[in-house]
Amino acid sequence: MRLRTLSVTVGLMAATVAGGAAPAAAGPLVSTVNLEAGAGLHRSSATVNYERVDGAVNSVKILSLEAFSGQRDCVWVEWNDPESANGWSALNSEPPCYGMSMGEGLNRIIKAPKGYQLKVRLAGYHDGGMVVMHKDIAKL
């Protein structure tokens, strides 16, 4: 009898704690994607923060991004734009190059047709070239 009372008490306490821990009005859930490409002097990385657009099909709002370039590269953070000629469009306004970093607050909505998988990538270019030498791709 005593064990049953204890388990009911524990159950009530857990429900109270769980209820108290939940926010009264939960806002949009912010997600983060970390990207990394290359190695050594070519190692670059980026972090993209985004949230789903409420009620919209296959749309996300890119809130911010940070990009760090390798010592010998320039890097772009791009998304797989279904309307782009080469399939990718830049999110950052300028690439950081040669060991530099940059951060941008964007609040930019990207969207694609239903069933199209939205992705972001970190694209590393050597010495300003046009060919992606290092890349990392992640789904949103």
Cβ–Cβ contacts within 10 Å for residue 72, how many?
18
* Mean pLDDT for the chain overall: 83
The percentage of residues in the chain with a pLDDT greater than 70, rounded to a whole number, is: 77
The percentage of residues in the chain with a pLDDT greater than 90, rounded to a whole number, is: 61
The whole-number pLDDT of residue 55 equals 84
Chain-centroid distance, C-alpha 88: 16
Specify the amino acid at residue 39. A
Between the alpha carbon of residue 65 and those of residues 41, 45, 53, 105, 112, the distances in Å are: 22, 11, 17, 7, 20
Lowest mean pLDDT among 74-88, 90-104, 117-131: 117-131
> So where are the chain's domains?
29-139
Higher pLDDT, 47 or 54: 47
